Structures are given as C-alpha cells and as structure tokens.
Amino acid sequence: MELRRLVRGRVDWPRLEAVVRELRNRYGREELHVRFLEADNWLSTPMVVDDEWFVKVVSKQNSLVHALFTTGRNLGAFSSGTEGFFEHFGTPLEMAEHELEATRRMREIGLNAPEPVEAFEVDGLGVLVLEYLPHFQSLDRLDRKREEQLAPAVFQALHTMHEHGLAHGDLRAENVLIVDDDVYFIDATNVSDEGAEDSRSYDLACALAAMEPLIGAKATVDAALESHTTEHLLAALDFLDFVNIRPDHDFDAAALKGVIGQRAT
C-alpha cells in the first residue's frame, strides 16, 4: 500500500496548502472551500475548489508514472506494427500546460470541454485549473438506452477532433462526460505529429473498446459508421488487440472484429 501511494505521487498536506494559498491569492478570495476527489488517478491529485474550479495537482512522481505509462503504450504500439506515437512531458508543469492547451484546442474547434483557466507551478508541482462541471455523468454511468442514443455523438465528436488534426490519446468511458446530453472530452494525453494517422486509428479503437461493453458490438459499430468510414474501422482493427491488453479496458475484441469484418464485406 505504501509503495502504491508513493508511486501515485501523493502530495503532502503542506505542499497542497501552498497550492491552495496560491489559488486564493490569484483569485482574490479570503478563503476557499476545497473538496478532494476520490478518483483512482495515478497522474494527479484532483480537487474541486469553491464548486467553481476543477484543479489537478501534478507531482514529480506523477510525471514519473506518466513516463512509465508512455513507455508501455509505445511498446504496445510497436506490437501493433507501428512506431510509438505517445510522448512524455519533462516536468509536472509541462503535463499541466499540455492538458490546458489540449482542452483549449478542443474548444476552439467546437467540441465540448471544460473551460481552461490556467496552468502554473507551485513548489515544483504543476497546477492545472479548469472550469468545474457540477452536473455530469461519465459515459459508463448511464443506462443502456441513453448510452445507445449518445454513442453516435461520441464517435462524431472524435471524428471532428481528427478532422482538425487532433488526437485524444487516452479515450476511455470515464474520459467522456455527459452534461445535459452534450458530450465532453477530458484528460487528453500527448501524441506526436509524426504518428498522427496511427494515433487517430488508436483513438477509434479505444472508442470502440469503450462503447462495446455498454451497448454491444453491433450497436457500437453501427454508431461508429455514422461518422467514420469502413476503412477507418479496418485501420482501427490493427490496434484492438493492443487496447485489449490495457487493464483499463475490458471488452469483447472478437465480437467487434467480427462485426467490422461483416460490414467490410
């Protein structure tokens, strides 16, 4: 347990207090109400401040874990027959700055994402501040009928992202938030421009993997084909086995491959 806490980069309370003091000074508040989230997050310490801001505190240990994850994902990409396209950040601040910029770019192309506020550094910690969305559900917390209704919108939003030269890099059901039937993307990771085409196929494979346990293979593929071509899905097939060995995805790869194969013939 202590090793897990160390690797996850748990931040000591005095350093968190320093972050809260900096937030109070930046936003002109005499006091702040801070609520720490029980999220199972290896890459930051998340908290809600004054029910107005969602704040991620990124430690050096979080950056180390991100480097390990990046290495593992690139090895998985190699096993799929392509060059690795995930990139690491050098410092906690760079991790925070990347997510801020990725969120800003998603909003610029018309996708829903929390409003980016700023990223800064306190005592070697990277601090990311985003708009807090108070009334949301993650995609995997909905009933099946609503998940089926929203599936085409999820794939359409992903297609829009790809059309504008962006890739998410870590698409999972918990990274898709639903607010008043609108689809929001969060927690984009860093992928290289050189591997853009492969990273988009990987994105689509992740989206298929996220939706299949919720609505089944047939409904998932039908929803994807409303915005993606059969060729796109066939390219995503190359990454399904890689996605399937990730511990944060649990889906029926054989069923998806079978349905995509039927649609391709």
Classify burial at 234, counting beta carbons within 10 Å of its beta carbon; exposed 0-12, middle 13-18, buried 19 or more.
Answer: middle
Q: What's the confidence (pLDDT) of residue 193?
A: 57
The whole-number pLDDT of residue 1 equals 41
Average pLDDT for residues 19-27, to the nearest whole number? 97
The pLDDT score that the predictor gives to residue 31 is: 93
Contacts of 76 (CB under 8 A, 6+ apart): 242, 245, 246
Q: Given a cut of 80, is residue 15 above it in pLDDT?
A: yes
Model confidence over 173-196: pLDDT tens digits? 999 999 998 999 998 765 545 557
* β 176-179/137-138 pair status: antiparallel
Q: Is the pLDDT score of 96 beyond 90?
A: yes
**Where on the phi/psi map is residue 143: left (φ > 0), alpha (ψ -120 to 50), or beta?**
beta
Query: Concatenated DSSP letters for 166-197?
Result: ---S---GGGEEEETTEEEE-----B-STTHH
Confidence of residue 145 (pLDDT cuts 50, 70, 90): very high
Asked if 99 contacts 187 with a C-beta cutoff of 8 angstroms, the reply is: yes
- Give the mean pLDDT of 88-109: 89
Average pLDDT over residues 48-66: 89
At 251 the three-state DSSP class reads coil
Q: Contact at 8 Å (CB) between 157 and 111?
A: yes
Query: Strands, E, within 50-115: which ranges?
Result: 53-58
Residue 228 has pLDDT above 60, yes or no: yes
What stretch of H or E contains 48? strand 45-49
Spatial contact of 47 and 58, defined as CB atoms under 8 Å apart: no
Of the chain, the percentage scoring pLDDT greater than 70 comes to: 85
pLDDT value at position 221? 98
Say yes or no to pLDDT of 264 above 50. Answer: yes
Residue 3, pLDDT > 50, answer no
Write the DSSP symbol of residue 87.
Answer: -
Which residue type occupies 222? D
- Say which residues have a Cβ less than 8 Å from residue 159's Cβ, sequence separation at least 6: 227, 228
Give CA separation, 25 vs 18, 119, 123, 208, in Å.
Answer: 11, 15, 15, 44
Q: Is the pLDDT of residue 242 over 90?
A: no
pLDDT band at 211 (very low <50, low <70, confident <90, very high): very high
Q: pLDDT > 90: what percent of the chain?
A: 63
With bands split at pLDDT 50, 70 and 90, how would you rate the model's confidence at 232? very high
User: Other CB atoms closer than 10 Å to residue 148's CB: what's the count?
Assistant: 18
Lowest mean pLDDT among 57-66, 121-130, 179-188, 233-242: 57-66
Q: How confident is the model at residue 76, as a pLDDT?
A: 58
